[in-house]
Amino acid sequence: MDSVDGDALLLNTLRRRRGIVKKWLFLGGAIVSEVTGSLSLKAALENPGWYALMAAGFAGAFVFLSLVLRAGLPLGVAYGIWGALGVALTALFSALLFGEPLTPAMGAGLALIIGGVLCIELGRQRAEKTREAATHGQAR
For 77-108, the pLDDT digits (tens) are 899 889 999 999 999 999 999 999 999 999 99
DSSP helix/strand/coil, 3: helix
DSSP 72: T
Burial of 2 (0-12, 13-18, 19+ CB in 10 A): exposed
* Cβ-contact 30, 65 below 8 angstroms: yes
pTM recorded for the entire structure: 0.79
